[in-house]
Amino acid sequence: MDHLGVGEPINGDHIYNGAMDNASGVATMLDTAATLHESGTKLRRSILFLIVTGEEKGLLGSRYFVAHPTVPRSSIVGDLNVDMFLPVIPLKILTVLGLKDSDLGPLLRSVAEPMGIEIQDDPEPERNLFIRSDQYNFIKAGVPSIYFKVGARAGTPEAATEKRWLTEHYHAPSDDTKQPVDLAAAAKYDELVLHLAEAMADRDERPQWNQDSFFRRYVKRSSAAHGRM
Ligand SMILES: [Zn+2]
C-alpha cells in the first residue's frame, strides 16, 4: 500500500514489497477493524481507520487527509500511528515516540503494562523520528499523536536482531513475506492497538498535549488557521 514500488535491483530483485514497512501496520489496522466489527463493541467515540500512501515521498497521503478530512477536523481527538512496528523479536518492550508529549503516553502505559509490556522512551531522540512518519501531519494540526513499535534494550541480542533487520532488509526488496516474523509479537501488538483505541474512544476527556511539550504550540496555530482551510 505504501512503500517504494520498483527500484534498483538487489540480488536480481527490483520489487520493493514493504512487508514490514509498512504492510505490517496496515495488517494491524485491518485486524483491529475486523475484531471491533465482529465483537459488536459499542464505543463512545467512533474510530476512523486511515490507510494512506506517499509516506515515503514526504508524508503526502496524511498531509492530504489532514487538509481534506472526511470528518470535521475538530472531531479528530487523537492519532495512533501504526507504521512499521517490526515484529522480528518478542514484544516485551515497546518503544514509544511522543511518550512524554501528551496524556496518550500514560494511557498507552496503562494498557501495555497489564499485558506484561514494558514501555521505553525513544532511545534515539537525535533521529527526530516523531516527526518522520504520518503522525507529524496530525501533530501540525494540533492533534495529540503517538507512535509505538516493538523495541529492545540497547546492547541486548534482541537489539542486535533489530539492527540486523534495519541493515539487511530496511528499504530493500528483501522486506518481503519470506522473512521471519515473530507472529506472537504481531498478535500481541494487534491486541495492544485494539485496547488503546478502545481506551481512547471510551474516555471522557479528549487527549491533551502536555504543557511542556514542544508540539503543543501547533494547537493554537491550527485552530486559528482552521477557518482558512
Ligand atoms: Zn520506509
Q: Residue 229: pLDDT band by 50, 70, 90 thresholds?
A: very low
Residue 113 Cα to ligand 1 midpoint, Å, equals 28
Residue 210 Cα to ligand 1 midpoint, Å, equals 29
Residue 168 Cα to ligand 1 midpoint, Å, equals 13
Question: In order of start, what are the domains of the chain with their CATH numbers?
Answer: 5-222 (3.40.630.10)
Q: Residue 228: pLDDT band by 50, 70, 90 thresholds?
A: very low
> Which pLDDT belongs to residue 141?
95
> Which pLDDT belongs to residue 224?
52
* Concatenated DSSP letters of 14-63: EEE--IIIIIIHHHHHHHHHHHHHHHT---SS---------STTTSHHHH
SS3 state of residue 79: strand
Q: Which three cell numbers stand for residue 13?
A: 530483485
pLDDT tens for 145-189 read 999 999 999 999 999 999 999 999 999 999 999 999 999 999 999
Residue 227 Cα to ligand 1 midpoint, Å, equals 34
> Which pLDDT belongs to residue 227?
47
The reported pTM is: 0.92
Residue 225 Cα to ligand 1 midpoint, Å, equals 30
Using DSSP bridges, classify how beta strands 118-121 and 93-97 pair: parallel, antiparallel or unpaired. parallel
Q: Whole-angstrom Cα distance, residue 145 to residue 122?
A: 14
Residues with Cβ < 8 Å from 9, sequence gap 6 or more?
173
> Which pLDDT belongs to residue 220?
74
Residues with CB under 5 A from ligand 1 (ion): 21
Q: Whole-angstrom Cα distance, residue 80 to residue 91?
A: 18
H helices present in 114-216, as ranges = 135-140, 157-168, 183-202
Amino acid at the residue 58: G
